[in-house]
Amino acid sequence: MASTTSLSFVLALAVFAIFSSPAFSTSRRALEHPKMQKGFRVRLRHVDSGKNLTRFERIQHGVKRGRNRLQRLKAMALVASSSSEIESPVLPGNGEYLMKLAIGTPPETYSAILDTGSDLIWTQCKPCTQCFDQSNPIFDPKKSSSFSKLSCSSQLCEALPQTSCNDGCEYLYTYGDYSSTQGILASETLTFGKASVPNVAFGCGADNEGSGFSQGAGLVGLGRGPLSLVSQLKEPKFSYCLASVDDTTKTSTLLMGSLASVNASSSAIKTTPLIHNPAQPSFYYLSLEGISVGDSRLPIKKSTFSLQDDGSGGLIIDSGTTITYLEESAFNLVAKEFTSQINLPVDSSGSTGLEVCFTLPSGSTNIEVPKMVFHFDGADLELPAENYMIGDASMRVACLAMGSSNGMSILGNVQQQNMLVLHDLEKETLSFLPAQCDLL
């Protein structure tokens, strides 16, 4: 008999598993490095927070945004695998979570999009040639005593994908949906709660165009490149814990520096190496070796999720993509096995926006679904059922929160919910630890 787990449906899929909270190192003593304190914590807010949506509707909205992000990520892969030169690099942009921070002296508070798929930290700056609307006043560097432009000879200026040198180090970041930010690379003090971090390189954007940025006043890049927030810290690691999207009143958390550390038994924490892709050095690539559904290890070729010599392929973990996208051949095997084990009629109406859905029995509030395990290099990650099945009893539908892709696979944020996900850039590892994120 296939291994299964139980799910409950009320108006939407209900969380049924109870997780234990990990133990955190909470010391806040200063680092020897003058830049920052030992670590800091930031609360994250989902972009759909406060909207009157069911869990299923939130994920549907996220899937629409995620498809756009997937296309941008795939465009980057195509550019990386092409030998032709382009006018400006294409970057992913956007995200699903917002963080609050302050910039300058005295500090001015604003919200920014958290993006693990890019590096640059940037916000809109006066005087604006072109700026989108934002809820907080646009940052005026002339009013900050800690603002200073970075020279064209600085290492971080040289790390930018495209620069020119007129009035300091000028940058251009172009995103795959034709959004862009253009301005001056500068140094400034950023404040996260009570923790102030001086001398952080950021983009002071005077020409910011396109869709997708209006949720915040800029982006905070958490990629692996030298310009990202995590790379500019003395202790280059961070973790996030994303609360279940069934209730947007629950808070998610970002932990930076030493606060990202966890003390856990070896059986509770699952750790896998980060893979480096020279063509896309900012992304967090993982080595996914296989997938099990129920008791069946699927006959997926090990090369399916491998990085190719030209930099295409592979699987990345991304906080800014809602559901997981698997290479089409692997997804088809997952869908086939799932359908054979779940014992529910397939919903083929196409009304949900998801690729694999089932019709729930009338009046049913509980269903049995097969277990799912992702087999990473050195880590077998068993997903809680609510991390891969979503549903709505009022619609009488339950769907697999995954989709198919070509050229790149992505582990999305639904699959990461209620897990502490630790990115350690020094050790080049990524770890998963079950957690009740809204209680951290």
Residue 426 has pLDDT above 90, yes or no: yes
Residue 175 has pLDDT above 60, yes or no: yes
Residue 14 has pLDDT above 60, yes or no: no
Tokens of 402: 């995954």
> Cα angle at 67 between 246 and 351, to 5 degrees?
65
CA pair distance 218, 121, nearest whole angstrom: 8
Query: What's the confidence (pLDDT) of residue 76?
Result: 59
Please enumerate in sequence order all residues whose Cβ is within 8 A of that of 273, keeping only pairs 6 or more positions apart, or say none: 286, 287, 377, 378, 428, 429, 430
Query: What's the confidence (pLDDT) of residue 17?
Result: 28
- Asked if 206 and 184 touch (Cβ cutoff 8 Å), the reply is yes
Give tens-digit pLDDT for 335-361: 999 999 998 999 887 778 899 999 998
Please enumerate in sequence order all residues whose Cβ is within 8 A of that of 118, keeping only pairs 6 or more positions apart, or say none: 91, 92, 93, 173, 219, 221, 223, 228, 282
Residue 303 has pLDDT above 50, yes or no: yes
Q: For the chain, what are the domain ranges?
A: 40-80+88-255, 262-434
- Asked if 125 and 204 touch (Cβ cutoff 8 Å), the reply is yes
Mean pLDDT of the region 123-140: 91
Give tens-digit pLDDT for 362-394: 876 678 899 999 999 999 999 999 999 988 887
Q: Is the peptide bond before 106 cis (omega within 30 degrees of 0)?
A: yes
**Do 40-80+88-255 and 262-434 agree at the fold level?**
yes
Answer whether CATH 2.40.70.10 is correct for domain 40-80+88-255. yes
Tokens of 407: 């050229």
CATH topology assigned to domain 262-434: Cathepsin D, subunit A; domain 1 (2.40.70)
Query: What's the confidence (pLDDT) of residue 8?
Result: 56
Mean pLDDT of the region 414-428: 95
Give tens-digit pLDDT for 80-98: 554 433 333 444 446 788 9
Tokens of 92: 């992913």
CA pair distance 431, 379, nearest whole angstrom: 9
Residue 29 has pLDDT above 50, yes or no: no
Query: What's the confidence (pLDDT) of residue 96?
Result: 84
Residue 246 is among the residues annotated as catalytic for this protein: no
In SS3 terms, the chain reads as: CCCEEEEEECCCEECCCCCCCCEECCCCCECCCCCCECEEEEEEEECCCCCCCCHHHHHHHHHHHHHHHHHHHHHHHHHHHCCCCCCCCEECCCCCEEEEEEECCCCEEEEEEEECCCCCCEEEECCCCECCCCCCCCECHHHCCCCEECCCCCHHHHCCCCEEEECEEEEEEEECCCCEEEEEEEEEEEEECCEEEEEEEEEEEEEEECCCCCCCCEEEECCCCCCCHHHHCCCCEEEEECCCCCCCCCCEEEEEEHHHCEECCCCCCEEEEEECCCCCCCCCEECEEEEEECCEECCCCHHHHCECCCCCECEEECCCCCCEEEEHHHHHHHHHHHHHHHCCCECCCCCCCCCCEEECCCCCCEEEEECEEEEECCEEEEECHHHCEEEECCCCEEEECEEEECCCEEECCCCCCCEEEEEECCCCEEEEEECCHHHC
Residue 318 is among the residues annotated as catalytic for this protein: yes
Q: Pick the catalytic residue: 115, 119, 246, 392?
A: 115
Other beta carbons within 10 angstroms of residue 163's beta carbon come to 14
Higher pLDDT, 66 or 76: 66
What mean pLDDT is reported for the chain? Answer: 83
Percentage of the residues of the chain whose pLDDT score is greater than 70: 82
Q: Pick the catalytic residue: 48, 177, 246, 318?
A: 318
Other beta carbons within 10 angstroms of residue 412's beta carbon come to 27
CA pair distance 440, 431, nearest whole angstrom: 17
